[in-house]
Amino acid sequence: MSSLLAATIFFLGIHFFISGTTLRGKIVGLIGEGPFRGLFSLMSLIGIIWLCRAYGQAEYIQLWGKPYMLRPFALIVILAAFFFVALAFTSPNPTAVGGGVFLAESEPAKGIQRITRHPFLWGVGLWSLTHLTLNGDLASVVFFGSFLILAVGGPFSIDRKRKKAFGDAWNRFAALTSNVPLFCNHQGPQLTKNRRDWLVACDFGGHSLWFVSSLSQKAFRRLAAAGVSRTAK
């Protein structure tokens, strides 16, 4: 369990205390934007691998157990999570790395961005919350909880950095969308504009969702097997 806790501190630390603070600017000033992104990506990958290995080896300590009656509802939430993630990569995304160029467009918020400006993190948040709830052991709370904390806190950090970097251009974009899905600052959800872009994104996202869901079945079975393995320890 100590390795899992250390991995969690490392993973969340590099996101909230390096990438999300003025320390990032100081490091970029020393080594440049490109090298920083490469180094940060490497550290993030190391953190994820460390988390996964530590989770698989952690002792099983039951908290509330496995609420099997919630599985039908969990499937719906997981499908919604994949939907958010798939559409995050099929719509121009000003909140993504290098996505600031989209803020200069006449319609900076397109597709899923009119629902939420952080679709990827909402997908991660729904995924992690569902698995945390369904597993009900201490290691799962720490493992999936780390991704949930990042998904909940990440949007505020990203919004703050983008606002500082792009100023009025960011304010114009933020007025057309929101962090929480469908809670746009304007009256009603912004679904009427760019209808064609939205339909194309939904169509592609739906096919991506089906494809990813099919490929992920084996991964979920292995994850479940890992839980059984920890139970047996």
Report whether pLDDT(192) > 50. Answer: no
Average pLDDT, the chain: 80
DSSP-assigned letter for residue 108: -
What are the domain boundaries of the chain? 1-58, 60-232
What CA–CA distances, in Å, run from 19 to 43, 113, 157?
A: 11, 23, 9
For the chain, give the number of residues: 233
The Cα–Cα gap between 233 and 229 comes to 7
State the CB neighbour count (10 A cutoff) for residue 71.
12
Confidence of residue 210 (pLDDT cuts 50, 70, 90): low
**Confidence band of 184 (pLDDT split at 50, 70, 90):** low
Give the integer Cα–Cα distance in Å for 128 and 141.
9
* 106 pLDDT tier (thresholds 50, 70, 90): confident
- The answer to whether the beta carbons of residues 24 and 97 sit under 8 Å apart is no
Looking at residue 223, its pLDDT comes to 54
pLDDT score at 190: 44
Q: Are 134 and 74 contacting, i.e. CB atoms less than 8 angstroms apart?
A: yes
CB 40 within 8 A of CB 13: no
* Separation of CA 228 from chain center: 26
pTM equals 0.74
Q: What pLDDT was estimated at residue 89?
A: 84
Instruction: Report how far residue 210's alpha carbon sits from residue 83's, in angstroms, rounded to the nearest whole number.
Output: 9
In angstroms, rounded to a whole number, what is the distance separating the alpha carbons of residues 224 and 171?
44
Residue 153: burial class (beta carbons within 10 Å; 0-12, 13-18, 19+): middle
List residues bridging with 137 in a β-sheet: 62
**How much of the chain, in percent, has pLDDT values that exceed 70?**
78
Query: 177: phi > 0 → left, psi -120 to 50 → alpha, else beta; which?
Result: beta
Which tops the pLDDT comparison, 162 or 138? 138
Contact 136, 65 (CB under 8 A): yes
Give the lowest-confidence range in 10-24, 113-127, 179-193, 203-217. Answer: 203-217
